[in-house]
Amino acid sequence: MAFRPDEQFVVDSLIDFLGGPDCVTAWQGEDPPDAYLKVGTQIAALEVTRLSPVSFSYDGSVENRTTQDSFAEELCDELDRKLGALVPKDRVICLTLHVPVVNARRFKKEANRMVQAVLAPCPEVGANSTHQVAGDEVSVDILRERKFSHKKIIGVVVNKHANADILANAKVILCGRLAAKREKCRNVKAADSKWLALLNDYWLADWRTYTAALAAYEASHGFARIYIVLHSGYVHEIFPCDGELRNVQISS
């Protein structure tokens, strides 16, 4: 069985970070762990996971923000496929959608009808309006056509349950992953040490934010090294930390 694409990306990024293929050998693990890395004479069991954005329900429980936001993004893509040809060539329709919605199925149907109603006369560039769609508010702005985009119906997603405090979000995201992966990997022993690599999907937080979030984590996580991997392929080691917020390279 091959690595998943995200696992392969993380493993390749770590190999580059640790000195390249001449210094590091990687192979697939038993899940757990996801992989093994041999650095010099040492073998590390590597677990890979993603740091995904979160939102919070009214009772304070953690929700999957990615799922909520994806609903609105996919709806805009669907509306563009179905109705984009009806938008005049010199215009683009921008929808501002507030998620999570009250009723997803009803919202999709009513959003489709609402956009068709807006397109019937199709207001001029600069016009804006607000509509109630299945109990949720949707703003519509008519923009000038963007030559660099092939889409005629685009969207802006606003998450009603999001927390503006980036560090607070990073703490929740990181601590949740540490607790889950500590439990998953507690019986992994076929290696000299256990490492954790975190692919950062929460782009508002950087490695410095996660270093600060980790400092607030009071429980034992059980990993000898923890890495933040950015989608650019850049890697930062946030544990062990010498107290300075800096990129740490290890030698083989």
pTM, rounded to two decimals: 0.78
Mean pLDDT of the chain: 92
Residue 148: its pLDDT value, please? 67
Q: Is the pLDDT of residue 251 over 70?
A: no
Residue 242: its pLDDT value, please? 53
d(CA 143, CA 155): 12
Q: Per residue in 129-172, pLDDT tens?
A: 999 999 999 999 999 998 767 899 999 999 999 999 999 999 99
Determine the average pLDDT of the residues in 207-218.
Answer: 94
From the CB of residue 103, how many other CB atoms can be counted at a distance below 10 Å? 12
Least confident of 79-93, 203-217, 229-243: 229-243
d(CA 239, CA 224): 7
Q: Per residue in 63-89, pLDDT tens?
A: 989 999 999 999 999 999 999 999 999
How many Å from the N-terminal Cα to the C-terminal Cα in the chain? Answer: 28
Radius of gyration of the chain from Cα atoms? 23
Domains and CATH numbers, the chain: 5-53+164-239 (3.40.1350), 65-159 (no CATH)
State whether the Cα torsion 75-76-82-86 is positive or negative.
positive
